[in-house]
Structure 1
């Protein structure tokens, strides 16, 4: 069987197992990407989650010496909930970005790739393959772009003609020299909406991202969230997709093609207060199947506390005070202290003053002082209207 024929068979088979787009490219080094990644490292723009070895990220043969080609796949996911839960005053809700709706895409795409590998090895038993999704060494976007699935836009997402940027990506390195597909010759042109809409200025310019300022990255960190990003975070618990939402190429792109990605509204927009004291077991039972749970409950809880402060939710004050007093983790105690100050009032000030006399952790004490300053300032501003 010729490789052209096998390629066609693979394309046809991919449609039967729920792969929405598939493309082929060579295993040649990604020369331009290598230069961009070196620049990112020099500017300290990388998140730290990615593979640090730039050579491995850009030369498939360093990952698999037999590499001759790469197969790139894409699966579309929905951008809107069919039914949005009410965000009520007594029951404020957080928000997981659409990339984390439904079943963890890493698992779903790996399952598709395993089937694709088996299909290839049935026909070419000696074929060598290696698949990866998101956490592998290669850049999924760079592979997909060169394989003709779409083009990388100014928002640093791969934009496909059919599904916009609402696609999950994965790839398979193979020892078979499949004929490569042509890249799509397209671009964002003069459109700069995503750069202008980025709330933290993380999109330094079109196509260049300072990951350390990106809210999608910041929602996944486990330390204290820097002060300048707390109000901007809003009620986001995981991820940030404003740069996708404003993109003209994404207008009216909303696909429910895969049962696995059907969002559960209660998981996509969960109530905030129950998250404050959720156990590890309950967290895994509730959120363990979604990709946004990969860092554990701590970042989600920290973000939930910041969201309650964003809403100035007075109904959460008692819970937050209890968290500040009893949680063993300084980041959670300290963030709760700051949030108590943002909600404000005499009860908040009294609780913060009391904790100031017993707290031993220096970082938490700093957050208590911030909370007190915010609450006192708020009280001062409100007092004239009360007289």
Structure 2
């Protein structure tokens, strides 16, 4: 009975636009316990993870008498079909590929709801279920790997045969005991490209990472970004794709199966200078549907300022000076001060005088520290 229902679910998943599906047991993920505890003890977690360890390991802690877990994957594009205009007078930033198109949380939830409705309509059992995307308790990649959808690479991402790691994944815990699919073992072999090419060396080599050093995490923080990471984000204002782009399993992978995931140029490659003065209303209108908008506009504006310095856009200096003088947010002002000092080609007396004036009126410690560092840097350019 369950095998017949499983085959019907697999067939229906394809019709619903689900690119990959797998089944596993609801047994505990106890093999992850030591690793998760070690990461937390080492300070390698991001803080975005679910905080109750038992609920991350034991499905029966979050669902009454679970019998199995259904994992699904949706493939997303790795290349834009429409290219951004090339204009050196309007330098652009970029969102990482996992933030292209509509927020994947909504797309995955819609697909899982459709799948649940199909199961409910095709069984006489009392069907109970709990859908989750990456904000849930369980580890999506651990579930998907055990469900036979792919293996967990050295970069900690699920790598599928058909789509590489360019997939969004979610899972449904259920009370129906489906036969599990065989898990997929790691196939990285001796390849260490993702580790070698990670600028801040955030990957630990065994599928784990130091999230505090991950550039994707750094673009999502709300305070000042440490100077070490600023040049490393280059012109990316949300996320990071490096460990995926260098992965051999991703070579030639580019799926365009879902219209809701297609990127729009002005959304995912915005003009950097336009980011600095955008209102809250404009931000929601332009970027509200992206997964990368979840932290609000301030981190993206901070990242855009850093990107302007990284791409050496000296035409942005007048706008940055306006930000320093008028923006009420210390993080934005302090980052703009750093950027102006980075962009200055010599010790401009007028710029130095402007920054000295700001020292007189600035009350925030972050701004004062940025001013002192900027003036020191400008002085070194004079010497």
**TM-score interval for Structure 1 and Structure 2 normalised by the shorter chain:** over 0.9
5+ unaligned residues in a row in structure 2: which ranges? Answer: none
Equivalent residue of 2:136, what SS?
A: coil
Quote the RMSD (CA, aligned, Å).
1.2
- The separation in 2 between residues aligned to 1:309 and 1:86, in whole angstroms, is 20
Alignment partner of 1:136 is 2:139: no
Q: Is the 8 A contact 1:192 1:206 kept in 2?
A: no
- Counterpart residue number, 1:283: 283
Superposed CA deviations along residues 137-170 of structure 1, whole A, max 9, x for unmatched, are 1100000000000000001110000000000000
- Counterpart residue number, 2:364: 361
Alignment partner of 1:41 is 2:40: yes
- Counterpart residue number, 1:384: none
- Counterpart residue number, 2:59: 60
- Counterpart residue number, 2:192: 192
User: Alpha-carbon deviation of 1:205?
Assistant: 2.1
User: Alpha-carbon deviation of 1:325?
Assistant: 1.2
Alignment partner of 1:7 is 2:10: no
- The separation in 2 between residues aligned to 1:20 and 1:151, in whole angstroms, is 16
User: Alpha-carbon deviation of 1:377?
Assistant: 2.4
Q: Is the 8 A contact 1:22 1:72 kept in 2?
A: yes
**Normalized against structure 2, the TM-score is what?**
0.97
- The separation in 2 between residues aligned to 1:379 and 1:180, in whole angstroms, is 68
Q: For residues 1-387 of structure 1, what are the structure 2 equivalents within 5 Å?
A: 2-124=1-123, 126-344=126-344, 345=346, 346=348, 347-380=350-383
Q: Is the 8 A contact 2:200 2:229 kept in 1?
A: yes
Q: Is the 8 A contact 1:341 1:373 kept in 2?
A: no
- The separation in 1 between residues aligned to 2:376 and 2:288, in whole angstroms, is 38
- The separation in 2 between residues aligned to 1:110 and 1:175, in whole angstroms, is 19
Equivalent residue of 2:276, what SS?
A: helix
Q: Is the 8 A contact 2:133 2:140 kept in 1?
A: yes
Q: Is the 8 A contact 2:153 2:186 kept in 1?
A: no
Superposed CA deviations along residues 361-381 of structure 1, whole A, max 9, x for unmatched, are 11111011112222332344x
- The separation in 2 between residues aligned to 1:307 and 1:272, in whole angstroms, is 8
User: Alpha-carbon deviation of 1:315?
Assistant: 1.1
- The separation in 1 between residues aligned to 2:8 and 2:63, in whole angstroms, is 24
Q: Is the 8 A contact 2:141 2:158 kept in 1?
A: yes
5+ unaligned residues in a row in structure 1: which ranges? Answer: 381-387
Comparing 44-53 and 365-374, the one that deviates more: 365-374
User: Alpha-carbon deviation of 1:348?
Assistant: 3.3
**Normalized against structure 1, the TM-score is what?**
0.96
Superposed CA deviations along residues 194-226 of structure 1, whole A, max 9, x for unmatched, are 000000010122312000000000100000001
User: Alpha-carbon deviation of 1:228?
Assistant: 0.9
- The separation in 2 between residues aligned to 1:133 and 1:46, in whole angstroms, is 19
Q: Is the 8 A contact 1:154 1:192 kept in 2?
A: yes
Q: Is the 8 A contact 2:152 2:186 kept in 1?
A: no
Question: Moved runs in structure 1, 4+ residues, more than 4 A?
Answer: none
Q: Is the 8 A contact 1:317 1:348 kept in 2?
A: no
Q: Is the 8 A contact 1:341 1:348 kept in 2?
A: no
How many pairs does the alignment contain?
379
